[in-house]
Amino acid sequence: MQKDKIVAMELREKAYAKLNLGLDVLRRMENGYHELLTVMQSVSLCDEIRLRLGGGESITASTNLKYLPRGEKNLAVRAALLFFNRTGLPLQGGEIEIVKNIPVGAGMAGGSSDAAAVLRALNRAFKANLSRSQLEEMALELGSDVPFCVAGGTALCRGRGEIMTQLPPMPRCWVVVCKPSFSISTPELFSLISCSKIKIRPDMDGIVKGIERGDLTQIARRIYNVFEDFLPPQYSEVRVIKSKLINLGALGASMTGTGSAVYGLFDCHDGARSAYDALRRQYHECFIAVTTEKLEL
């Protein structure tokens, strides 16, 4: 493609949510970040991205949620600017329209997945031929969860989440996600956690072995999120939702990320639908989804 050529185009991409199948905090690193150990899993709940490019010299975002930023504070806009900067291609101005279906402030990497979707779409449309690893390296400049969201699937993640080991696809299952009326500040929760005071840790080896064996029950019984033990009292509804999911038949349930969304794993659609219907009467943000495999780039 000629570097001085401006091309009007419209691109569409889906941005898939992620869950943490077990989340452990190992230590506080010298750089101030905490070292994490988790299995990340993508699910079918997704935002819808539409890029209209070729209209000016700036990029803005619009969403169905009016309180989200339109400019460079929006991670999808930053992703587009980073792509053009790193590839040397001329900046294609325009608008990124985002239909938000993934709940905001839920621990499901909605903003990170939007950014990753923008990188995928631009790489394909402009035939930049960036490999998956190159896209992931670029994505890390945007945030810790963005590299996983480039291709999704099932991966064991360490460090800030960016050191990934691809795993076989976990057994396909249904997921019910429920977010209480509040969000939880990630910096606040990290400030409260103390590695020496963690009493219960997820069995990450057991989760990985369950994935390798295709044993959903083994996986579900071992998921746990250490952040749940450090939730302040005002966030106790997280534990309430978790108990409700178990009582409604989930094989296992956990908060994802630093919350506030809670998910349950189900081995049949009917069971998941029944739990969803029950929770939907009490909680506005309730979703049903299925696990998804790694995207082919």
* Number of neighbouring beta carbons within 10 Å of residue 146: 27
Reported as a pLDDT band with limits 50, 70 and 90, residue 3 is very low
* Segment holding 49, helix H or strand E: strand 34-53
Q: How confident is the model at residue 5 (pLDDT cuts 50, 70, 90)?
A: low
Nearest alpha carbon to residue 249 among 267, 262, 261, 235: 267
What pLDDT is attached to residue 160? 86
pLDDT (0 to 100) of residue 162: 87
Which residue out of 18, 179, 242, 244 is catalytically annotated?
Answer: 18
Q: Are 180 and 283 in contact (CB under 8 A)?
A: yes
At residue 7 the predicted structure's pLDDT band, cuts being 50, 70 and 90, is low
CB 225 within 8 A of CB 202: yes
For the chain, the domains span 9-166, 174-290
pLDDT band at 29 (very low <50, low <70, confident <90, very high): confident
Is 198 a residue whose pLDDT tops 50?
A: yes
Least confident among 109-113, 160-164, 224-228: 160-164
User: What CATH number does the domain located at 9-166 have?
Assistant: 3.30.230.10
Task: Report H helices in the chain.
Answer: 75-87, 110-125, 132-140, 146-151, 186-192, 204-213, 216-220, 237-247, 269-280
Query: Is residue 19 within 8 Å of residue 41, measured between CB atoms?
Result: yes
**Cβ atoms 13, 97 nearer than 8 A:** no
pLDDT digits (tens, 9 = 90+) for 231-240: 999 999 999 9
Higher pLDDT, 54 or 63: 63
Average pLDDT over residues 48-67: 92
Predicted pLDDT at 164: 96
Instruction: Tell me the pLDDT band of 2, cut-offs 50, 70 and 90.
Output: very low
Q: pLDDT tens-digit profile of 115-160?
A: 999 999 999 999 999 999 999 999 999 999 999 999 999 999 999 8
Q: What is the mean pLDDT of the chain?
A: 95
Which of 41, 27, 35, 34 has the alpha carbon at shortest distance from 252?
A: 41
Region for 56 from its dihedrals, namely left if φ exceeds 0, alpha if ψ lies in -120 to 50, beta otherwise = left
* pLDDT digit string, tens, across residues 277-287: 999 999 999 99
Q: pLDDT value at position 32?
A: 75
- Residue 224 above 60 pLDDT? yes
Query: Percent of the chain scored above 90 by pLDDT?
Result: 91
Q: Is 270 labeled as catalytic in the residue annotation?
A: no
Which residue is catalytic, options 24, 47, 114, 145?
145
Give pLDDT, residue 1.
41
The confidence score (pLDDT) of residue 6 equals 57
Give bridge partners of residue 178 from the DSSP assignment.
262, 286
Pseudo-torsion of CA 176, 214, 147, 189, nearest 10°? 50
Say how far apart CA 295 and CA 35 lie, in whole Å.
26
Paired with 251 in beta bridges are none
Q: Which two tokens stand for residue 189?
A: 């929760």
Rounded CA-CA distance 196/125 in Å is 48
Read off the tokens for 162.
């960016």
Domain 174-290 in CATH 3.30.70.890? The answer is yes
145 is catalytic: yes
Q: Is the pLDDT of residue 187 over 50?
A: yes
